[in-house]
Amino acid sequence: MLKQAGIRTTTGRGRLFDSILDTVGDTPVIRVNNIAPAGVRVYVKAEFFNPLASVKDRLALNIIEAAERAGTLRPGQTVVEATSGNTGIGLAMVCAQKGYPLVVTMADSFSVERRRLMRMLGAKVVLTPRAQKGTGMYMKAVELAEKHGWFLARQFETSANADIHEATTAREILGDFAGDRLDYVVTGYGTGGTVTGLARVLRRERPETRIILSEPANAALIASGVAQERGTDGSPAVSHPAFEPHPIQGWTPDFIPLVLQEALDNGGYDDLIAVSGADGIVWAKRLAAREGILTGVSGGASFAVAMQIAERAPKGSVILAMLPDTGERYLTTPLFEGIPEDMDDEEHALSLSTPGYRMATG
């Protein structure tokens, strides 16, 4: 929006979109004004501006279109994938628009709103026991693909994942910070596509920018130093021994994805900082209440790490945190615990402060 004569105005995007898929990407970088420390600039890249409200819209689109280009996805063929939710939601959008049936496998520990969104978009959702963790839902997708001859999206292994972040996410960041300093970029990992794609570009074109990778404190797979056991196709052979269940949905499955392995092997990050799920929740709530920026626990976790860096960074530093998705994905999770549906005492008092239109009290 532009400010003219005291009122904000809009002029349109200057183009008409042929489909919802053309709206993926070009998400904004937004300055944090009220809670950032003095002397540094903190920004967030708001991936919830994607059409289905998460960074995974990017890889979902590229997985399908790369398979179309390669001829490995036939017209009308069913797509199947294991997901904690956001990739499945992105795939459901893409498959709905392009006419592919979609089946998603998902552990039953992930938030209910995710499975309902996928079903709203026409996908079938097959739940797997939470005790079998991410590897369980992954192996179920493999079984279904082999049994029925479906196309397995393979978000954790496919080169199409990091490729789209190299081609779009990283280029957007370069464009937004052209002519300006950018000292730190902070991200977590789910599949590892974001950090791997960013590293390919930033290492070459902004080598002064430090890439900070984060993972849950109680599921520190990378920090453990234990290599992931893999099958011959790069898929996880077993659950990683350092994994424990954590509340940062979308981050760190119970294995190290092959897509992430490229960044680990090639020095694609400068520092690894652990963060607790509790801190992710606290900072997501602060972003919402103090900045009007509504992100999920994963975004809160990235931002928590960015704020740690901001507190000790040299004056003038510029820090960017990736916000992978919207807080509305977490309505039935601990992020919204303590946020009531009904009026609290202060709200009741406000209602009683004028004579009309009062709710009945029990």
What positions carry a catalytic annotation? 56, 298
Backbone angles phi, psi at 139, to 5 degrees: -65, -30
Q: Do β-strands 124-128 and 184-187 pair in parallel, antiparallel, or remain unpaired?
A: unpaired
Residue 315 C-alpha from the chain's centroid:
29
Tokens linked to 54: 């998460």
Amino acid symbol at 135: T
Neighbouring residues of 260: CB distance < 8 A, sequence distance ≥ 6: 189, 191, 192, 195, 196
Is residue 218 within 8 A of residue 244, CB to CB? The reply is: yes
Could you give the 3-state DSSP secondary structure of residue 216?
strand
**Beta-carbon-side half-sphere exposure of residue 24 (alpha carbons within 13 Å):** 23
In this structure, what DSSP letter does residue 168 have?
I
